[in-house]
């Protein structure tokens, strides 16, 4: 795949880039390892100062980088500006909280004494150089939610971004450089996917994180397993959106539209399967379908556009195949199901609602990465749980019910990394994010995320030569 900016609203190739050669890759890995040797010794005050500067610069650059993201992958300009603001928020959150999240932990006094120690504690130390393989759908946010905690923990980063967002990738390297990070702390590698294995096998690289497709995750996990390196994987989802009889149906239907078409429907945590109690099914289906029909599809730079193009021609073809397979197997198309008329030669697709989904349809098991919703009718909580869990994925879930007993049951039984009641799934820097089953493993964000790429070290002192342990990375 070429490393290029191709405007998905027009299909026009705007800029191309040469991939790095082997010697250049080797030099950058060496630079990252050398930077880690120094960065790991810095105190949290210095790390917070650097990340705070990066946040300030990004805030000032917000409009420009938003236009770049929209040009490269097609999200609406409003969504791109919101993404940049979210990154600023996460950077400042980690700058404030990293020191306390990684503070030394004290075991119970009884356990210290039972171990024969005079003093014992747990310290979180950085691992080293972390390779990040990132996708195009949230080209700024996906990277920042890795980079902010990793850098605050004392690691350094190498970014292999998706090949269709090279300008955003280069902006990120420049952002951290302008913020004052030493050379090598964060570098972008303009490379194809074929170069990832060699980098991950390099002894100078300590770990990897990947957000992307299941095949990509399997490939990275396989190499990491062979080299015994830590990985965090977020591999997408087919999230359920359950609506029970006690739900506020107008609110549930309105939120469902946003939950399905956010980021032009190309979001791992977008609701994709709408599972509705039979008592309220007809009302929800009508309101939801009307809401999807009312959306404006068009130029993502325009202020009145709700849904822009898909990121690539292949992405649209894949979505069309899922819809046609469902239609051929008997699904009813309540709205959409085709390319819109009267738009430029971009990769647009109408917001679509499919009803009558059955297990033999591909869309029942596969992730629909675009503005296509699957609608199911269920008789009660038990069937709702069964349908919700009948997927290889388990990233997040949404449930609309005002019944507390039902809420407890869904928390107990849904196979997902998150359960969001009477709202829609959204990531936040203070809450862990990740999935189960084929949605991957490990967590990003919050304390869980910053500790993923730390060496969790038990420190034990006998009675001889006891020293002041100090606190955290500042004392390393």
Task: Give the bridge partners for 15, in sequence order.
Answer: 5
Query: 68, 60, 139: which is closest to 301 by C-alpha?
Result: 68
The beta strand positions in 39-169, using DSSP E, are: 119-126, 129-133, 156-160
Neighbouring C-beta atoms of residue 291, cutoff 10 Å:
20
Give the whole-angstrom CA distance, residue 166 versus residue 146: 18
List C-alpha distances in Å: 387 to 35, 121, 281, 360, 371: 49, 46, 15, 14, 21
What's the Cα-to-Cα distance from 23 to each of 2, 29, 30, rounded to whole Å? 20, 10, 11
Question: Per the residue annotation, which of 234, 320, 367, 406 is the catalytic one?
Answer: 234
DSSP per position, 205-218: EEEEEEES-HHHHH
Can 476 be counted among the known catalytic residues? no
Asked whether 346 and 383 are in contact (CB, 8 A), the reply is no
Q: Is 234 one of the catalytic residues? A: yes
Instruction: Point out the catalytic residue in the list 87, 185, 268, 335.
Output: 268
In whole angstroms, what is the distance from residue 470 CA to residue 373 CA? 54
Q: State the Cα–Cα distance between residues 297 and 305, nearest whole angstrom.
A: 6
How far is CA 170 from its chain centroid? Answer: 19
Residue 378 dihedral angles phi and psi, to the nearest 5°: -130, 160
How far apart, in whole angstroms, are the C-alpha atoms of residue 449 and residue 127?
14
360's tokens: 């033999």
DSSP string, 2-52: -EEEEETTTTEEEEEEPPPPHHHHHHHHHHHHHHHHHHTTS-HHHHHHHHH
On the 0-12 / 13-18 / 19+ scale of CB atoms within 10 A, 174 is middle
Tokens (6 digits) for 320: 């069309």
Alpha helix (H) residue ranges in 262-365 = 278-293, 313-328, 362-365
Helix (H) or strand (E) holding 354: strand 352-355
Whole-angstrom distance, CA of residue 87 vs CA of residue 179: 15
As annotated, the active-site residues are 234, 268
């Amino acid at each position: 795949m070429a490393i290029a900016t191709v405007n998905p609203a027009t299909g026009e190739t705007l800029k191309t880039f040469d991939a790095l050669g082997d010697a250049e890759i080797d030099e950058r890995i060496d630079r990252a390892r050398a930077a880690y040797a120094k960065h790991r010794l810095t105190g949290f005050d210095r790390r917070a100062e650097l990340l705070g500067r990066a946040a300030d610069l990004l805030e000032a650059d917000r409009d420009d980088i938003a236009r770049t993201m929209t040009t490269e992958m097609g999200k609406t300009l409003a969504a791109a500006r919101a993404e940049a603001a979210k990154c600023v928020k996460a950077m400042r959150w980690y700058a404030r909280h990293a020191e306390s999240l990684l503070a030394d932990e004290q075991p119970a006094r009884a356990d210290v004494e039972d171990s024969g120690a005079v003093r014992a504690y747990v310290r979180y130390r950085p691992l080293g150089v972390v390779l990040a393989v990132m996708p195009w759908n949230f080209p700024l946010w996906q990277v920042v939610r890795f980079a902010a905690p990793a850098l605050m923990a004392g690691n350094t980063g190498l970014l292999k971004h998706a090949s269709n967002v090279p300008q955003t990738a280069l902006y990120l390297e420049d952002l951290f450089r302008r913020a004052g990070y030493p050379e090598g702390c964060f570098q972008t590698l303009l490379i194809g996917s074929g170069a990832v294995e060699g980098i991950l096998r390099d002894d100078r690289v300590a770990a990897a994180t990947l957000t992307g497709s299941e095949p990509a995750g399997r490939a990275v996990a396989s190499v990491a397993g062979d080299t015994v390196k830590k990985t965090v994987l977020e591999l997408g989802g087919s999230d359920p959106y359950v609506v029970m009889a006690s739900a506020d149906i107008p609110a549930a239907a309105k939120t469902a539209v946003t939950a399905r078409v956010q980021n032009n429907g190309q979001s791992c945590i977008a609701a994709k399967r709408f599972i509705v109690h039979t008592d309220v099914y007809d009302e929800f289906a009508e309101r939801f379908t009307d809401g999807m029909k009312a959306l404006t599809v068009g130029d993502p730079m325009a202020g009145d556009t709700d849904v822009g193009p898909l990121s690539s021609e292949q992405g649209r073809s894949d979505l069309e195949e899922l819809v046609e397979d469902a239609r051929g197997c008997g699904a009813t198309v309540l709205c959409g199901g085709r390319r819109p008329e009267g738009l430029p030669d971009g990769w647009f697709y109408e917001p679509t609602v499919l009803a009558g989904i059955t297990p033999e349809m591909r869309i029942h098991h596969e992730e629909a990465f675009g503005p296509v919703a699957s609608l199911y009718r269920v008789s009660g909580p038990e069937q709702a749980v069964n349908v919700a869990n009948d997927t290889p994925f388990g990233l997040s879930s949404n449930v609309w019910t005002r019944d507390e007993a039902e809420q407890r049951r869904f928390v107990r039984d849904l196979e997902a990394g998150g359960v969001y009641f009477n709202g829609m799934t959204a990531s936040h820097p203070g809450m862990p994010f990740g999935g189960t089953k084929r949605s991957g493993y490990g967590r990003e964000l919050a304390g869980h995320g910053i500790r993923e790429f730390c060496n969790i070290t038990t420190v034990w002192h006998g009675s001889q030569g006891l020293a002041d342990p100090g606190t955290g990375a500042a004392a390393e």
